[in-house]
Structure 1
Amino acid sequence: MTMRRLALTVLGIVIFLLGVLWTLQGLGFVGWPADSFMIGKRQWAYIGVLAMAAGLILVWIVRRRRSGR
């Protein structure tokens, strides 16, 4: 795996994990950090789901491309 592909894969995973956190905060399941403005705001749950999808799509695209390209 090239360095670029590795970096994009890691970026996709980080975006996905941030999306999970934002979704859980938006739904009120995670109260960390306690002073976060995202806790209990459904808008952040929707944004989190979009971030999770974007992260998964990025990882899928990077993994799908041949190493020869």
Structure 2
Amino acid sequence: MRNVFNLVMRIISSLLGVLVACLGGIWILQGLNIAFKVGFMVGDKRWVAWGALAVVIGVSQIVWSNTRQG
């Protein structure tokens, strides 16, 4: 039962990492005024930095959840 729990939590953790990384990508695109040209983030360079940070956190979450032991 413990192995099933670990597998489910690893999948959920990876999906959350993917979600955060995708949101970060959207923030980067909006900050650079490339896509989704509606809203308060459009053209604001601060969202490029926040988006890059979110991508790093999301990718780190994916790597951590798939390389940890136990």
Q: TM-score, normalised by structure 2?
A: 0.87
**2:42 paired residue among 28, 39, 43:** 39
Among all aligned residue pairs of Structure 1 and Structure 2, give the percentage whose two residues are the same amino acid. 29
Matches within 5 A, 1:56-67: 56-66=59-69
Q: Which runs of 5+ in 1 are unaligned?
A: none
Runs of 4+ off more than 2 Å: none
Q: Which runs of 5+ in 2 are unaligned?
A: 1-5
- Whole-Å Cα distance in 2 between the matches of residues 60 and 42 of structure 1? 27
| Matched residue count | 65
CA-based RMSD: 1.2
Q: Higher helix share goes to which structure?
A: 2
**Does the CA contact (< 8 Å) of 2:30 and 2:37 recur in 1?**
no
Q: TM-score, normalised by structure 1?
A: 0.88
